[in-house]
Amino acid sequence: MSADGTLRFDTSLNTEGLQEGTGKLGSIAKDALGVFAGNMMTKAAEAVASLGREALHAGMSFEASMAKVSTLFTGTDEELGQLSNTILELSSATGLAADGLAEAAYSALSASVPAEDLGTILDKSAKLAAAGFTDVDTALSATAKTMNAYGVTGEEAIDKVQKVLIQTQNLGITTVGELGASLAQVTPTAAAFGVSFEQVGASLAVMTAQGTPTAQATTQLNSLIAELGKSGTT
């Protein structure tokens, strides 16, 4: 109270408590942020380590697959290195695992595909696999075994065989994967009796479209061709 009897109130704010409280909140926030950042760093480090392990495993698997390829590869070391680079480039372009492509290359060599055709057949089989609902190894094996049955080689023959495989899939109720698992039951007989692969594909397309499973259709077609090929058959 002043000397004249009026009342005066102190309206100034005491901010000490507020400042103290804010300081504590800031400290808590810093601690929380530190924990969060630490957790994020830990997770990031774990992710990097996991990627490193996966990359190492993939690299080792690819090297092991290429070692298998080298046991059948008849070219020079330089040509083998070029094949390895081709597989890695194809893996990068298609997103397919390099070790899987190397295994397909081994299957191709096992099927007597010439070394100079390996890069081409791998590239085309990767595209066929994507369109034919199957893996590269199956697509490549179907191509290579059919070419062997008909005694043909080269890029033109690869294109011709794979075109028939896709057309058979499109016109019938089957897939390149199913054809790849069963074609060898009929192609040697068909080739021996002069039945073209186009005729084989057309027959399988019709048979599967009518409801005959692919494996059963190839068996029936093989028996039909063999029977028709016998002398004196009506």
Measured from the Cβ of residue 206, the count of other Cβ atoms closer than 10 Å reads 14
Q: Average pLDDT, stretch 157-164?
A: 97
**Model confidence pLDDT, tens digit, residues 90-140:** 999 988 899 999 999 999 999 999 988 999 999 999 999 999 989 999 999
Per-residue pLDDT for 13 more than 90? Answer: no
The angle, 0 to 180 degrees and rounded to 10, between the axes of the packed helices 136-150 and 98-110 is 20
What does the DSSP assignment read for 107-164?
A: HHHHTT--GGGHHHHHHHHHHHHHHTTS-HHHHHHHHHHHHHHHT--SHHHHHHHHHH
To the question of pTM greater than 0.75 for the whole model, the response is no
Confidence of residue 45 (pLDDT cuts 50, 70, 90): low
Cβ-Cβ contacts under 8 Å for 206 (sequence gap 6 or more): 171, 172
Tokens of 139: 């697509």
CA–CA dist 95, 19 (Å, integer): 58
pLDDT at 164: 97
Q: Which residue pairs, CB below 8 angstroms and at least 24 apart, start in 208-215?
A: 208/172, 208/173, 208/174, 209/171, 209/172, 209/173, 211/173, 214/174, 214/175, 214/178, 214/179, 214/181, 214/182, 215/178, 215/181, 215/182, 215/185
Confidence of residue 32 (pLDDT cuts 50, 70, 90): low
**Model confidence pLDDT, tens digit, residues 189-229:** 999 999 999 999 999 999 999 999 999 999 999 999 999 88
CA–CA dist 2, 194 (Å, integer): 126
pLDDT at 43: 60
Closest to 82 measured CA to CA, from 122, 130, 140? 122
